Amino acid sequence: MSKAITFSKVTQSFERRGQTSIQALDDLSFEIGAREFVSVLGPSGCGKSTLLQLLSGLLMPSHGTISVNDQKVTGPRDDVGIVFQKPTLLPWFDVVGNVTFPIRHKGLSVTSEIQDRAQELLELVGLKEFSARRVDELSGGMQQRVSIARALLLDPDILLMDEPFSALDALTRDEMSFELLRIWSAKKKTVLFITHSIPEALLLSDRIIVMTPRPGRVMEEINCPFQRPRSQETLGDPRFAELSNHIRGSLLKDNANQPQ
C-alpha cells in the first residue's frame, strides 16, 4: 500500500517571547496509507492542532520531515482538504456559495462544471434541498455538513478533520459519525481525524494513533478490528468495550505520570 502521509522524526517547538521554547511535538513518526481512515486521539496539549498545521503546510517543522504522497510538504497544497472544529462558513454566501468558496477564493471562476460538482457534493452530504438557503438558517450539524462538502470541492486525496463534531450536541454527534462513514464509503479519501472521543475514534477508524501530551509523542497505535460497513452493532461488539477500556486505561495511567 502506498503511503499517503508520512511523519518522520518530526519535532516542533515554539519560541515564546523571552521564555524557554515550548515543545509541542517530540520525535513523532507514523505513516498513513492511501484511503486509510486514521484517528489521532489524545488529551488537550498533545499537539493535535500543531499536527494539523504541519500537515496542511501552514507550519514548517523544527526538525524532521513530513511527506504527502511521497512528496515533502513545503507549503500549502491542493490535495489536502480541511474540516475545522467549527463550521466557519461565510454568512454572506448561501449554502452552495460556501461550497464553491475555495474556487473563488483562489481567484478562479466558478464554471458550470464546478456548480454541478458542488450540487453533487451537497447531495452526498444530504443537503440537496438546502443549496440556496442562508447558512445561518441551518443547524450546527447541517453547517458542518456544508463545511465537509466545501473541503471536498477541490477533490483532495487527503481530508484533515480537526475535532469536527466536538462542538455538536451528543445526538447530532452520533448521527454525524454515521454520516461521515457513509460519505467516506462514497468518496474514499485518506482521512486524518483528530478527536478527544474514544468511541468516536473506535467507530470511525481503521487505526488509532494514541498520543501523550506535552510534548506530543505517539504512545500507542491500535488497529480497529471491526468489519466495515460499521453500524449501531459495532458499538455493541465486546471488543469495542474492551479496546475502549484499554485506551482509557493507558491515557489515565500516562496522565498520572505527568508532572502537573
Partner 1 sequence: MTLSKQLFALTERFGALISLSLVLLLWEVGVSLFNIPTYVLPPPSDVFAAATGIAFGQWFSHSAATLKVVLAGFFAATCVSIPLAVAISSSRMASSLIMPVLIAIKATPVVAVAPIIIVVLGTGDMPRVLITFLIAFFPIVVSATTGLALAPPELISLSKSLKASGWRELWDIRLPYAVPHIFSGLKVASTLVVTGAVVGEFVAAERGLGYLVLFSTSNFDVATAFVCLGLLVGFSLLLFSCVGTVQARLFPWSLPKDATG
Kindly list the residues in this chain that would bind partner 1 in the complex (CB under 8 A): 53, 56-58, 75-76, 80, 82, 84-86, 88, 90-92, 101-102, 104-107, 134, 136
Minimum distance between the CB of residue 242 and partner 1, rounded to whole angstroms?
Answer: 36
In the bound state with partner 1, the residue whose beta carbon lies nearer, of 92 and 170, is 92
Query: Three-state SS for 36?
Result: coil
In sequence order, the β-bridge partners of residue 63 are 11
Instruction: Give the integer Cα–Cα distance in Å for 183 and 20.
Output: 44
- Rounded to a whole number of angstroms, the minimum distance from the CB of residue 259 to partner 1 is 30
Shortest distance, position 4 Cβ to partner 1, whole Å: 17
| Cβ distance to partner 1 smaller for residue 91 or 236 | 91
Closest separation between CB of residue 84 and partner 1, Å?
4
d(CA 65, CA 127): 39
241-260 as b/e: b if 16+ CB within 10 A: eebeeebeeebeebeeeeee
Q: Is residue 124 within 8 Å of residue 177, measured between CB atoms?
A: no
Q: Minimal distance in Å, beta carbon 93 to partner 1?
A: 9
Q: Which is nearer to partner 1, 92 or 171 (CB)?
A: 92
Amino acid at 114: I
Q: Which is nearer to partner 1, 70 or 136 (CB)?
A: 136
Least spacing, CB of residue 106 vs partner 1, in Å: 5
DSSP assignments along 81-109, one per residue: EEE-SS----TTSBHHHHHSHHHHHTT--
90 versus 186: smaller Cβ distance to partner 1: 90
- Nearest CB to partner 1, comparing residues 75 and 236: 75
Parallel, antiparallel or unpaired: strands 71-72 and 80-83: unpaired
